[in-house]
Structure 1
Amino acid sequence: MPLVSGIDFTSRPSRRKPQWASAWRVSSSRAELVELVPLPTWSDYAAWLARPFDLIGIDHPFGLPREMQGEWGVPETWVGMRDWVTSFEPAAWRQFVSAWRAGQPPGRKFRYRATDCEAGSQSPLNTVNPPVGMMLRAGLPYLDRTRMVEVYPSLTARAAGVRPYKGLDPSPRQGLLASLNDHRGRELVIPPAMAEVATQDTEGDALDAVIAGLTAAWAVDEPRFGLPERYDDWEGAIVDPLLSAKRSTSSAELTK
Structure 2
Amino acid sequence: MSDITVFGIDFTSAPGARKPIRVASGTRHGAVVRLSGLTALDSLDGFSAWLARPGPWVAGFDLPFGLPRELVAQLGWPTDYAALMAHYAAMSRADIRDRFAAFCDARPVGAKFAHRACDGPAGASPSMKWVNPPVAWMLHAGVPRLIAAGVHLPGLLTGDETRVALEAYPGLLARELVARRSYKSDSKAAQTPERLIARKDIVDALEQGRTRLGLRLKLSHAQRDTLVADASGDSLDAVLAMLQAAWAAAQPRYGWPSDVDPLEGWIASA
Taking only aligned residues, the RMSD between alpha carbons, in angstroms, comes to 1.7
User: C-alpha distance in 1, partners of 2:13/2:75?
Assistant: 23
Name 2:157's counterpart in structure 1.
none
Query: Which residue of structure 1 aligns with residue 183 of structure 2?
Result: 165
| Unmatched segments (≥5 aa) in structure 1 | 244-256
Q: CA deviation at 1:84?
A: 1.2
> What is the match of residue 226 of structure 2?
197
Which of 122, 132, 149 aligns to 1:129? It is: 132
Q: Which moved more, 1:59-68 or 1:190-199?
A: 190-199
Tell me, in whole angstroms, the C-alpha distance in 2 between the residues paired with 1:13 and 1:213.
20
Is 1:100 the counterpart of 2:100 in the alignment?
no
Residues 107-136 of structure 1: per-residue CA shift (max 9 Å, x gap): 332110110122221111210011111111
Q: Is the 8 A contact 1:4 1:53 kept in 2?
A: no
Match for residue 112 of structure 1 among 111, 115, 121: 115
TM-score (norm 2): 0.84
Percent identity over the alignment is: 37
Residue in structure 1 matching 2:208, options 157, 182, 188: 182
Partner SS, residue 100 of structure 1:
helix
Per the TM alignment, residue 12 of structure 1 is displaced from its structure 2 partner at its CA by 1.0
Is 1:88 aligned to residue 91 of structure 2? yes
Deviation at residue 53 of structure 1 after TM alignment: 4.6
Q: Which residue of 2 aligns with 1:247?
A: none
Would you say the 8 A contact 1:165–1:172 is kept in 2?
A: yes
The aligned counterpart of 2:261 is 232
Change (3 A) 1:189 1:224: same
Distance 1:207 1:137 in 2: 24
8 Å Cα contact 1:98-1:127 kept in structure 2 = no
Q: Deviations over 1:27-78 (max 9, x none)?
A: 1132110111121111221122222252110111111111122211111211
1:78 match: 81
How far apart, in 1, do the equivalents of 2:15 and 2:219 lie? 25
- Residue 218 of structure 1: which of 247, 253, 257 is its match? 247
Distance 1:150 1:165 in 2: 21
Letter matched to residue 217 of structure 1: A
Residue identity in the other structure for 2:81: W
